[in-house]
Amino acid sequence: MKIKKYEVYDMKEAMAVIKKELGPDAVILSTRKIVKNGSFGLFSRPMIEVTAAVDYSAKRETKKTASETIKPVEKTIEDNADISKLTEVINSLGLNKFEMLLNDMNEIKKQISEMKTAISENMAIDLPKSLKEIYNIMIKNEVDDVLAYKFLKKIEGRIDENSTSLQIKNIAMQLFADIIPVEKDYFTMLKKKVLALVGPTGVGKTTTIAKIAANLALKLQKTVALISIDTFRIGAVEQLKNYAEIIDVPLRIASSPTELNEIILGFEDYEYIILDTMGRSQYDTAQIDELKNFISINPLISVALVLSMSSNHSELGDTFNRYSKLNPDYLIFTKLDETKYFGSIASLPILKKVPILLMTNGQNVPEDMEIPDGKKIAKTIFSEIPTLWRN
Ligand SMILES: Nc1nc2c(ncn2[C@@H]2O[C@H](COP(=O)(O)OP(=O)(O)O)[C@@H](O)[C@H]2O)c(=O)[nH]1
Ligand SMILES: [Mg+2]
């Protein structure tokens, strides 16, 4: 048995190094938040301490390939005889029950998914053959099944039986493009307003703000000011500070709603004001409530909810619902470069009746950003072979 502690910036990093060092059989025993001082103690960045364990008694040969950047902070505990003791501890903590619960949950999830597939297949049964084929393509590209069915049912009457299947598909694609709500003219829409980007941690809010600001200030010669809401005083504003310096736009930090309002008033000469927000986790409802206090302080603030296409697409609706308290005016989809299925980019805006403001498809600032085009989105969704997003 080997137990190690790691200090990392996020769980992704933790998983990578644990897998590398302890092998694929390692399990995470605990995680806790810690704050470490950076160089010269000037900046602090929140980190997590992850404790992981692996049982080597069966596989002693796992290679030790210690990463240079993350050093184990505690001595390795090697103890082959003590597995039964550990099992005892796990049982006393009720962790075995937790595992049983997880198994039950996974089983329920599987059954729901099977039921959904069955319903979804039956749903398309009354569509004519040509539309059923289109239905299957849309589902393959992860368009919401009820939406796809209702849409095709609605256009059924407009399909000429004598058309070829390609013609039918093209008509369906055009009609679908028309119902995707997009905000084509976002530069004009946001002039003399404040655009606040909200959404789960890591979706790309700060990077997207840098892209927008750079496009406005450097390409279009507009005056832009940035504000960051530091709700939790975690001081993680360096990233935006760096961008603000490079783009040469002012940045102010607001730590209370009244301070935010004062900063907005102070920036009244600027054509565009963009607001960055940050938080601990999307599941933290207190954080969303606190954000609401900030956002409702000034009627000029419009809200764009940022959703990442690299996350589990079936959870995007839940994320939207969690943030619906903030009444998002727009949606921004990020990380298009990390998926091949773009159905959610259409389903969510159509079902929630919220237009897409922007899409981003890479880490390069400012170029990896594009203004949404319903036709282009529909084309990807009607593509028989899901492929990467094309610029
Ligand atoms: N592949 C990809 N990565 C992105 C994109 N937008 C942002 N990122 C990356 O996602 C990570 C988190 O971005 P960040 O802006 O800090 O997210 P925030 O927590 O929402 O502010 C960074 O590594 C970004 O470079 C994108 O469109 N594509
Ligand atoms: Mg950020």
Q: Which domains does the chain have, with CATH numbers?
A: 2-92 (3.30.70), 100-179 (no CATH), 186-381 (3.40.50.300)
Ligand 2 geometric centre to CA of 222 (Å):
23
- Ligand sitting nearest the alpha carbon of 238: 2
pLDDT at 46: 75
Q: For ligand 1, atom 25, name the residue with the nearest CA.
A: 363
pLDDT-based confidence at residue 280 (cuts at 50, 70, 90):
low
331, exposed or middle or buried, with CB in 10 Å at 0-12, 13-18, 19+? buried
Tally DSSP H helices, then E strands, for the chain.
14, 12
Please work out whether the CB of residue 237 comes within 6 Å of at least one atom of ligand 1.
no
Q: What is the DSSP letter of 333?
A: E
Ligand 2 geometric centre to CA of 111 (Å):
37
The closest-lying atom of ligand 1 relative to the alpha carbon of residue 201 is 19
- Ligand sitting nearest the alpha carbon of 207: 1
Average per-residue pLDDT in the chain? Answer: 85
pLDDT at 60: 42
- In the block, tokens 């005016």 appear at 329
pLDDT-based confidence at residue 38 (cuts at 50, 70, 90):
very low
Task: Tabulate helix, strand, coil % of the chain (nearest 5).
Answer: 45, 20, 35
Q: What is the DSSP letter of 182?
A: B
State which residues have CB under 5 angstroms from ligand 2, the bound ion.
205-206, 278
Please work out whether the CB of residue 2 comes within 6 Å of at least one atom of ligand 1.
no
pLDDT tens-digit profile of 200-247? 989 999 999 999 999 999 999 999 999 999 765 555 688 899 999 999
**Considering the chain, what percentage of its residues have pLDDT values greater than 90?**
52
Tell me how far apart the alpha carbons of residues 286 and 256 are, in angstroms, rounded to a whole number.
15
Closest residue by Cα to residue 340 from 141, 176, 147: 141
Ligand 1 geometric centre to CA of 361 (Å):
10
Closest residue by Cα to residue 267 from 281, 250, 283, 255: 250
Ligand 2 geometric centre to CA of 231 (Å):
12
Please work out whether the CB of residue 207 comes within 6 Å of at least one atom of ligand 1.
yes
Please work out whether the CB of residue 383 comes within 6 Å of at least one atom of ligand 1.
no
pLDDT at 123: 76
pLDDT at 276: 96
Amino acid (1-letter code) at residue 329: D
Tell me how far apart the alpha carbons of residues 104 and 99 are, in angstroms, rounded to a whole number.
9
- Ligand sitting nearest the alpha carbon of 311: 1
Ligand 1 geometric centre to CA of 333 (Å):
11
Q: Is the pLDDT of residue 386 over 80?
A: yes
Ligand 2 geometric centre to CA of 359 (Å):
17
Tell me how far apart the alpha carbons of residues 166 and 152 are, in angstroms, rounded to a whole number.
15
pLDDT tens-digit profile of 42-84? 445 678 888 888 776 544 434 444 444 444 444 444 445 566 6
- Predicted TM-score (pTM) of the model is 0.73
- Ligand sitting nearest the alpha carbon of 231: 2
Tell me how far apart the alpha carbons of residues 387 and 140 are, in angstroms, rounded to a whole number.
12
pLDDT-based confidence at residue 355 (cuts at 50, 70, 90):
very high
Ligand 2 geometric centre to CA of 202 (Å):
7
The closest-lying atom of ligand 1 relative to the alpha carbon of residue 361 is 27
